[in-house]
Amino acid sequence: MPKRFDKQIIADFGSLRRVWPTAADDRVFFTVGSARPYLPLNEQRLILYEYKPYNDTFTRIIDLTNIDKLVNTSGKSFFKRNAGIFIPAWNSEFYIYGKTYFKIFHSENLTDFRTVYVDPTGTYGNHFFANDAGNIICIGVGRGWKGKKGSISYTPLSSYLLISEDHGENWLKIYELRYPTAIYDGVIVDDLILFTARERKSVFFSINKGKTFNEIHLDSPARNAAYFRIGRKEFIIISSNDSFYLSHLDNIKFKKIKLYTVGLVLRYPIFFQRKIFLSGVGVRSWLIAFDLKLGKVDKYDITMLAGDKSACRLAFSNNKFLIGSELYGKLYAIEPNSLRELQTKDYIKLYLSSLFNSMLKKPLMRFPRITTLLQI
């Protein structure tokens, strides 16, 4: 079980472990996996936990590496009460050596886990996305590896989009993107299926349930996607580097909104209290809130808690934001009222950190353990 600290750092599983929370239907689950293949082999495991915020307890559900020794890390789990939990899993040797293997686990009762999809040539699939009912579920899966042995790369040689229209029982490939990019995230709203292609800097969307897709090019990486509504107006948001893109649902045309948070990639947009909350990761780890009406930016500096610059996996439950660390095995809990307005000194700190990081980048390139956090 994890070490416990305080109200902000609620769990610590140790370095080189990825913690990935998901919150749905009043329940919180998270996976703990191997962030990189540097841990002793017997410690490179993928374990599923449930966290109960109301009494602040953890339950270890299953060690998935015991089921399949080829998997030791995962993307974000997907849970729906009428469908159970789905976990996308692969091997952390992909990032350094290009090892391919991808699997989707499913359990309806959190006791019996079975494989519903496997691709020996697949790489990773980070995010499920589904319609409200949960009967239509999609995930992007990479194939191959665009990297060099000994260096860290997150980019597959190509990607494809999977869909299930029966609560995850059967999976079908509906789109293939023959380009070195991850199909990263997406949304499903009625007949609309939309997904992001990170390295291609594009958004693809279909208005006929995936029969055909149109592409919209952006001018920066297309990362996480989210749907939200304000009154009768419906929006789609795409997170990117120090910015995000916003579009009306009924006329998909994205407008870029820059936050000038130099050196931070913005992730996991969540609409709450008429603000867009995002995690920011790179030269620091921040929780950021953007007020759509006032244009004001608030932040909480997670790096100040434990020196962690890789805290970015964001979920929301029980009026708290849960942030999992990519590299340091920690799970953080931040209350929305903890954020403070971004000041000029904060922008200066980011700029100087980004400048220092870029000066170090070339001398450090020969060391294989130096990772580009902007791609996680």
Q: Over 70: is that where the pLDDT of 72 sits?
A: yes
Q: Which CATH number fits domain 9-375: 2.120.10.10, 2.40.30.10, 3.40.50.1000, 3.40.640.10?
A: 2.120.10.10
Q: Over 90: is that where the pLDDT of 1 sits?
A: no
Q: What confidence score (pLDDT) does residue 53 get?
A: 86
Residues 226/233, Cβ–Cβ less than 8 Å? no
Q: What confidence score (pLDDT) does residue 303 get?
A: 95
Q: Which parts of 69-168 fold into alpha helices (H)?
A: 94-97
* Dihedral sign of CA atoms 149, 155, 161, 164 in order: positive
Q: What confidence score (pLDDT) does residue 358 get?
A: 72
More confident residue, 149 or 155: 155
Residues β-bridged to residue 85 = 79, 107
* Dihedral sign of CA atoms 306, 307, 313, 317 in order: positive
Q: Please report which confidence band the pLDDT of residue 149 belongs to, taking 50, 70 and 90 as the band edges.
A: confident
Could you give the CA distance from residue 210 to residue 197 in angstroms, rounded to a whole number? Answer: 16
Residues 26/8, Cβ–Cβ less than 8 Å? no
Q: Over 70: is that where the pLDDT of 155 sits?
A: yes
Q: Where does residue 56 rank: exposed (0-12), middle (13-18), buried (19+ CB within 10 A)?
A: exposed
Q: What confidence score (pLDDT) does residue 361 get?
A: 58
Q: What confidence score (pLDDT) does residue 4 get?
A: 58
Could you give the CA distance from residue 117 to residue 88 in angstroms, rounded to a whole number? Answer: 9
- Mean pLDDT of the region 152-169: 95
Q: What confidence score (pLDDT) does residue 148 get?
A: 81
- Mean pLDDT of the region 221-244: 97
Q: Please report which confidence band the pLDDT of residue 364 belongs to, taking 50, 70 and 90 as the band edges.
A: very low
Could you give the CA distance from residue 191 to residue 14 in angstroms, rounded to a whole number? Answer: 43
Q: Over 50: is that where the pLDDT of 371 sits?
A: no
Q: Over 90: is that where the pLDDT of 184 sits?
A: yes
> pLDDT for 25-54, tens place per residue?
889 999 999 999 999 999 999 999 999 988
Could you give the CA distance from residue 308 to residue 330 in angstroms, rounded to a whole number? Answer: 9
- Mean pLDDT of the region 254-263: 94
- Mean pLDDT of the region 267-277: 96
Q: Please report which confidence band the pLDDT of residue 232 belongs to, taking 50, 70 and 90 as the band edges.
A: very high
- Mean pLDDT of the region 109-133: 96
Q: Please report which confidence band the pLDDT of residue 245 belongs to, taking 50, 70 and 90 as the band edges.
A: very high
Average pLDDT taken over every residue of the chain? 92
Q: What confidence score (pLDDT) does residue 133 get?
A: 92
Q: Please report which confidence band the pLDDT of residue 175 belongs to, taking 50, 70 and 90 as the band edges.
A: very high
Q: What residue spans define the domains of the chain?
A: 9-375
Taken as a whole, the chain contains a residue count of 376
Q: Over 90: is that where the pLDDT of 349 sits?
A: no
Of the given ranges (18-32, 112-126, 262-276, 346-360), which has the lowest mean pLDDT?
346-360
- Mean pLDDT of the region 256-274: 95
Q: Over 80: is that where the pLDDT of 326 sits?
A: yes
C-alpha dist (Å) from residue 297 to 81, 240, 275, 346: 35, 16, 9, 11
Q: Over 50: is that where the pLDDT of 366 sits?
A: no
Q: Over 70: is that where the pLDDT of 354 sits?
A: yes
